[in-house]
Amino acid sequence: GVGQAPARTAALLAGLPAETRCMSVNKVCASGAKAIALGAQSIKVRDSNVVFAGGMESMSNVPHYLPRIHATAKPGDFSVRDGLLLDGLLDGTVKSDAGSFIHMGEFAEKTANKYGLSRDQQDSYAKRSYEKALKACKEGSFESELIAQDMNFDGRYPASGASVGDPLQVMCRVDTSRDEQLSKFRPEKMSALRPAFRRDGEGTITAANASTLADGAACVLLMGGELAAKSSAQPLARVLATADAELPPEQFGEAPAVAIRTALSRARLNVTDIDLWEIHEAFAVVALANGVCELGIELEKLNIQGGAISLGHPLGASGARIVVTLVHSLRRCCKRLGVAATCNGGGGATALVIEALF
Strand duo 276-279 + 337-344: pairing:
parallel
Angstrom distance (rounded) from CA 78 to CA 73: 9
Catalytic: which of 137, 219, 328, 343? 343
Using a pLDDT cut of 70, give the percent of the chain over it: 89
Q: Bridge partners of 173?
A: 150
| pLDDT for the residue numbered 169 | 46
172, burial (CB in 10 Å: exposed 0-12, middle 13-18, buried 19+): exposed
Q: Active-site residue 280, yes or no?
A: no
| pLDDT for the residue numbered 49 | 95
Q: Which amino acid is at 290?
A: N
The CATH classification number of 6-60+119-142+212-356 equals 3.40.47.10
* Residue 115 scores a pLDDT above 70: yes
pLDDT tens for each residue of 202-239? 899 999 999 999 999 999 999 999 999 999 889 999 99
* Residue 278 scores a pLDDT above 60: yes
Looking at per-residue pLDDT, the higher value among 88 and 158 belongs to 88
pLDDT tens for each residue of 57-104? 999 889 999 876 666 667 777 788 899 999 999 998 877 776 678 999
Q: Is 306 left (phi over 0), alpha (psi -120 to 50) or beta?
A: left
From-to residues of CATH 3.40.47.10 in the chain? 6-60+119-142+212-356
Catalytic: which of 137, 219, 280, 313? 313
Angstrom distance (rounded) from CA 111 to CA 334: 35
Q: Active-site residue 313, yes or no?
A: yes
| pLDDT for the residue numbered 20 | 97
| pLDDT for the residue numbered 95 | 76
Catalytic: which of 29, 137, 280, 328? 29
Q: Active-site residue 343, yes or no?
A: yes
| pLDDT for the residue numbered 168 | 44
Mean pLDDT for the stretch of residues 11-27? 96
